[in-house]
A and B are shown apart, each in its own frame.
Chain A
Amino acid sequence: MMNANGRPTRAEESSRSANDDVSTFTGNAALDIEEPLIFEIGRTEATGVDLPEPAAVAPRLGKHARRAPLSLPGLTEPETMRHYVRLSRQNYAIDLGVYPLGSCTMKHNPRLNEKMARLPGFADVHPLQPAQTSEGAVALMAELSHWLMELTGMAAVALSPKAGAHGELCGMMAIKAALSARGETRSKVLVPESAHGTNPATAALLGYKVEAIPAREDGTVDVEAVKARLDSDVAAIMLTNPNTCGLFERDVAEIAEAVHAVGAYFYGDGANFNAIMGKVRPGDLGIDAMHINLHKTFSTPHGGGGPGAGPVVLSERLAPFAPLPYLRLEDGKPVLVEHASDTEDGAKPFGRMCAFHGQMGMYVRALSYMMSHGADGLRQAAEDAVLSANYLKARLGDVMTVAYPERPAMHEVLFKDDFLDETGVTTLDFAKAMIDEGFHPMTMYFPLVVHGAMLVEPTESESRANLDLFVATLRDLAMAASRGDTGRFKAAPRHAPRRRLDETGAARHPVLRWTKPEPRPIEPVEAAE
């Protein structure tokens, strides 16, 4: 059936399906263009940067001058543009569609943030230029600190950690320093089984023995199990709240009390703070230290894997141990304290997390987001995130298996793979089929406490129409699985830039860099008898 303009109106009249078997000369498929490596298309001498002839001077490199030329491929500007634009088109992105990665919080990244971070007054300022020429930068850090402390109800903030795991390390170091200042060395850290892998890794890095706490039937931490493990050898508990099952730990205050009663500290993993901002303050729950992922809660872009930023808020008890540099008010003006020798009475910074002052570019973006939303908007964002997750839970609960149906979800909802039992379809297959439908899969196989976990976090950034299409798609997939339509899953993804990749081969024979191909051996001439 053709419409008046002569375009096909029905799917089967388009030549798409017939085309699947036809290969093109180039291997490309219209807008899907294969792109070689820079090492295969670049030339050492090609360049996209016009540089002046270096002045003729007597070099002062001494005997250290480079002997061999640098063998790196170059491209001119138009070639560079095309290479990276083509590569970019092989990525999924929040700007393209729903990206419901549980515990990763893929929310909209406002472009105002990007514009503000690029103001020369922020982007073109050196961390060690004289203080009187960078007062605005320090003032911005002070303003961000105020927002973070007010939102969390905590006494101090260490801004410099460069990512969530780095923030964890910072918070746990503050705890270790505080114990050591009391003349104590404790050896154990309690971590629930559902925790992010960074929690035990951080505790182990600091020499602590990790003790796992089992979860209750309803997915939350058993306060009695915590109490049974608490003694004077426990340095801290590391607890994510809302936890990685998407549930609020409702006994958190009682846990905090028990932890404090044995002289231990309460580390809060703030990865999921986006669910509760403006609703409850971690400081009011008895938390002593908590990192905040600016790239999750406060919309700084994930950038394909960083950079992140993980400021740590600290309670009154831990505030003196905050690392260098930290902010101090002098005559009402914030200044950076960069050395232990400059600290006032009482401050005992445990050390330094990184060179300079942390992720300024992320501070600007996060503050831009906070100011745009305001206290009211942040609270609304948390409510919308929680509302959206519970909406998915309600609309999908009859066809997928909600792991913990009895408690309200917070910002994310956890499914387990019971609904796929006997179908021959695995969580992985299900996720890959979502790719063909134009969605990014949810977080898979995490947390480890349920079988075949699927952790879905819609965030506050999805419209009702997007949520409904997502629901309809997942319902369709779940029903396809239950009626045995495995073909749709096992071969998925079919429409992505690549089919499933051989991860076993990649790990057995790691190829981690390009190397020049060996020249093909010359065919030996057959020797005459």
Chain B
Amino acid sequence: MRYLPLTDADRADMLAAIGVGAIDDLFVDIPADKRVDGTLDLPSHRSELAVEAALKRLAAKNVPADTVPFFVGAGAYKHHVPSTVDHLIQRSEFLTSYTPYQPEVSQGTLQVLFEFQTQVAELTGMEVANASMYDGSTAAAEAVLMANRVTKRRKAIVAGGVHPHYRDVIKTVVGMADDELVCMEPDPAGTEYIAAEIDEDTACIVVQSPSFFGHLLDLKPLAEAAHAKGALLVAVFTEVVALAAIEPPGAQGADIVVGEGQSLGNPLTFGGPYVGLFATRQKFLRQMPGRLCGETVDADGKRGYVLTLSTREQHIRRDKATSNICTNSGLCALAFSIHATLLGGTGLMRLAAVNHAQTVKLVERLESVRGVEVLTDTFFNEITLRVDRNAAALVDDLAEHGVLAGVPVSRLLPGTEFDDLLILAVTECVSDDDIKALCTALSEAL
């Protein structure tokens, strides 16, 4: 048992020191008739070699993104993560430390969080950001609850361009909290006609840009329409790299900005763990959920950092807390922050430009593919196609030929209405050869 340092002799000694005869004397409070007798239907301990072999067998049944032309996005993106990132996040002091509740011996984590908060605020164009949330979708749900608190209203409107999973998470949380929610019909055309729906009861509108379908939206008129009725604009994104190419939501009047930070520093990992980003205006700070790190000084007057404003949180406010949230996504936030530092402002803008250029190239090439119509007019690195056959079947066909050609919209919006729509994402990992392979495969399959 390689993870257990106590020997049988230690155990016997320790039992004697405690003054009991057997280990089960310490478990006497468990009702005798309820204890596990005999063994469970589970295997016994195994060597590192054996476990590794078993898990590798499972891993081998999956197709890694790196091994094929890969265009799958819709909320999670295949980007190249510099090797420095993964090395640094495996430093024992980052990997195996707890939440920095003892700031004197947690300055490393705390300074990283302070830097992270500043990076997120700058990227989103907002004044303050928290130390991260579970993921983009849960951050979006928290944003709606926060908007209800700020406006003292209870109705949210979710735009048709919001990622369907995000919409469903909001719906679940808001519904369970007995608040009101209006969800607009999915909007593959990118018209986003939400403004007319806002009324005096509306706490917020939730709008995504780039949208689930890839459209870029002008948030400014939406912010104005919301503010005119005393409502807030919650701006959502799933591809954080886009913020280096487009006008940040903060500059367009958003009140709360939430999104997914996975694209920087974090691998796909079949959907998690990821890192939710959450930023807002200074004036709403007290209603913001999640951990916050702040600057201060120590007893010698040296600059240092602490978790602060924690009276908002569950461990103090209990049933009056702003959220039940108890954790952030610390290590993923660290990965995000390191990757952003390695890129720098200019580098991140260049990364965004490379993503966009490759996407434009794909769109140009698709013009010569029969049976394909590109629905997205302005976009960053993600587009929606209408194809001449069932998109899910098409994707399956192409997978047979070693091309992972994107996400059929029906995977997230089941039914027949959108079954000819396909969403493709293009990052710096997509080569010109990959684009060619996709277009050739599409031409053959359509």
Is chain B in direct contact with chain A in the complex (CB below 8 A)?
yes
**Are A120 and B59 neighbours in the complex by a CB distance under 8 Å?**
yes
Residues of A with C-beta under 8 A to B360: 55, 57-60
Partner-binding segment picked from B195-203, B226-234, B285-293, B436-444: B285-293
Cβ-neighbour of B272 out of A162, A374, A511 (below 8 A):
A162
A-B residue pairs, 9 tightest by C-beta: A74-B344, A121-B59, A356-B271, A351-B172, A136-B61, A303-B331, A127-B271, A307-B273, A95-B92
Q: Shortest CB–CB separation between residue B409 and chain A, in angstroms?
A: 11
Q: Compute how far the CA of A391 lies from the CA of B35 in the bound complex, rounded to whole angstroms.
A: 23
Q: Does A248 contact B (CB under 8 A)?
A: yes
Q: Shortest CB–CB separation between residue B344 and chain A, in angstroms?
A: 2
- List CB contacts (< 8 Å) of A438-466 with chain B: 440-441, 446, 460-464, 466
**Are B331 and A381 neighbours in the complex by a CB distance under 8 Å?**
no
Chain B, residue nearest A109 (CB): B96
Q: Does A306 contact B (CB under 8 A)?
A: yes
A-B contact pairs, 25 of them (CB 8 A): A46-B344, A47-B343, A61-B246, A71-B122, A87-B107, A95-B96, A112-B51, A124-B65, A147-B42, A162-B134, A201-B321, A206-B177, A250-B31, A304-B98, A304-B331, A305-B99, A324-B168, A354-B138, A355-B136, A372-B2, A377-B4, A383-B23, A387-B18, A460-B3, A464-B5
Residues of A with C-beta under 8 A to B300: 499
**Are B4 and A380 neighbours in the complex by a CB distance under 8 Å?**
yes
Q: Does A362 contact B (CB under 8 A)?
A: yes
Chain B, residue nearest A133 (CB): B63
Cβ-neighbour of A66 out of B11, B28, B244 (below 8 A):
B244
Q: Shortest CB–CB separation between residue A25 and chain B, in angstroms?
A: 16
Residues of A with C-beta under 8 A to B371: none
Residues of B with C-beta under 8 A to A388: 6, 14
Q: Does B428 contact A (CB under 8 A)?
A: yes
User: A280-B35, A354-B138 are known contacts. Are A44 and B269 too (CB-CB below 8 A)?
Assistant: no
**Are A42 and B271 neighbours in the complex by a CB distance under 8 Å?**
no
Q: Does A485 contact B (CB under 8 A)?
A: no
User: A45-B346, A80-B338, A496-B105 are known contacts. Are A128 and B72 too (CB-CB below 8 A)?
Assistant: yes
Size of the A side of the interface (Cβ < 8 Å), in residues, is 210
Of B13, B127, B324, which is in contact with the most chain A CB atoms at under 10 Å from its CB?
Answer: B324
Residues of B with C-beta under 8 A to A463: 5-6, 10
Partner-binding segment picked from A2-10, A312-320, A500-508: A500-508
User: How would residues 401 to 427 of chain B score, 1 for a CB under 8 Å from any chain A CB and 0 otherwise?
Assistant: 000100100011011000000000000
Q: Does B340 contact A (CB under 8 A)?
A: yes
**Are B172 and A507 neighbours in the complex by a CB distance under 8 Å?**
no
Q: Compute how far the CA of A85 lies from the CA of B396 in the bound complex, rounded to whole angstroms.
A: 45
Q: Does A90 contact B (CB under 8 A)?
A: yes
- List CB contacts (< 8 Å) of B341-384 with chain A: 341-351, 353-354, 356-361, 363-364, 377-380
- List CB contacts (< 8 Å) of A329-385 with chain B: 338-339, 341-342, 350-362, 364, 367-368, 370-377, 379-381, 383-384
**Are B331 and A307 neighbours in the complex by a CB distance under 8 Å?**
yes
Given contacts A354-B138, A358-B271, 5 further A-B contacts (CB under 8 A): A120-B66, A126-B76, A204-B321, A303-B94, A379-B36
Q: Shortest CB–CB separation between residue A426 and chain B, in angstroms?
A: 15
Q: Does A166 contact B (CB under 8 A)?
A: yes
- List CB contacts (< 8 Å) of A381-399 with chain B: 381, 383-384, 386-388, 390-391, 393-395
A-B interface pairs (CB < 8 A), number = 718
User: How would residues 92 to 105 of chain B score, 1 for a CB under 8 Å from any chain A CB and 0 otherwise?
Assistant: 11111111101111
Q: Shortest CB–CB separation between residue A512 and chain B, in angstroms?
A: 5
Q: Does B191 contact A (CB under 8 A)?
A: no
Q: Does A414 contact B (CB under 8 A)?
A: no
Q: Compute how far the CA of A108 lies from the CA of B4 in the bound complex, rounded to whole angstroms.
A: 9
User: A139-B61, A351-B176, A362-B273 are known contacts. Are A510 and B285 too (CB-CB below 8 A)?
Assistant: yes
Partner-binding segment picked from A31-39, A223-231, A474-482: A31-39
Of A285, A302, A303, which is in contact with the most chain B CB atoms at under 10 Å from its CB?
Answer: A303
Q: Compute how far the CA of A303 lies from the CA of B134 in the bound complex, rounded to whole angstroms.
A: 13
**Are A440 and B105 neighbours in the complex by a CB distance under 8 Å?**
yes
Cβ-neighbour of B295 out of A435, A491, A511 (below 8 A):
A511
**Are B331 and A162 neighbours in the complex by a CB distance under 8 Å?**
no
User: A120-B66, A376-B45, A498-B107 are known contacts. Are A49 and B95 too (CB-CB below 8 A)?
Assistant: no
Cβ-neighbour of A72 out of B19, B119, B313, B332 (below 8 A):
B119
